[in-house]
Structure 1
Amino acid sequence: MKFAKKLIAVLALVPGLAFAAESGFALEPAPERSDLASLQNGARLFVNHCLNCHSASAMRYNRLRDIGLTEEQIKNNLLFTQDKVGGMMTTAMRPDDAKAWFGAVPPDLSVMARAKASPSGSGADYLYTYLRTFYKDDTRPTGWNNMVVPNVAMPHVMWQEQGVRVAKFADAPNPGVSGNTTHQFVGFQQLSQGTMTQQEFDTATADLVAYLVWMAEPAQDTRKKLGVIVLLFMSLFAFLAWLLNKSYWKEVK
Structure 2
Amino acid sequence: MKTLTTFVMACFIMVVGAHAQTADEIIANYFENIGGLDNLKNLEGMKMTAKVNQGGMEIPIEIYQLKDGRQMTKITFQGKEIMQGVYDGETLWSHNFMTMKAEKSDAEETANFKLNTNDFPDSFVDYKEKGYIVELLGKETIDGAETFKIKLVKEPITVDGNQQDDISFYFFDTENFVPIAVQSEVKTGPAKGQTSETTMSDYQEVEGLYFPFSMTQGVKGGQSQPITIETIELNPTVDDAAFAFPEETETEEK
Q: Verify same fold: TM over 0.5.
A: no
Q: Whose Rg is larger? A: 1
Q: Which has the higher strand share?
A: 2
TM-score normalised to structure 2 length: 0.26
Query: How high is the TM-score relative to the length of structure 1?
Result: 0.26
Please identify which structure carries the higher helix content.
1
User: Higher relative CO (CA 8 A, sep ≥ 6), structure 1 or 2?
Assistant: 1
